[in-house]
Amino acid sequence: MFKRFLSRLGEPIQSGFDPAQWDTLLNSMGYELIDNLSPEELKQRYFQRRDD
């Protein structure tokens, strides 16, 4: 519901997490960060063949 409301206002939902601290946060919960890709790296990995 909140996501739809913000979407109608044109506001993106932004995480409250600092990507530089994800490794520490995940480790404190017993997880391991495998990859921490930048937006450009994500685009290359998952969207390079898209034309939309």
8, part of any domain: no
Apex 36 CA angle, 32 and 37, nearest 5: 155
Does residue 39 belong to any structural domain of this protein? Answer: yes
Q: What is the pTM of this model?
A: 0.49
- Structural domain total, the chain: 1
- Whether 49 is in a domain gets the answer yes
pLDDT score of 1: 65
In a domain, 6, yes or no: no
Contact 44, 51 (CB under 8 A): no
End-to-end CA distance of the chain: 27
Confidence of residue 24 (pLDDT cuts 50, 70, 90): very high
CA–CA–CA angle 27, 28, 32 (5° rounding): 15
Asked if the structure places residue 3 within a domain, the reply is: no
The residue count for the chain: 52
Range of the domain at 40: 14-52
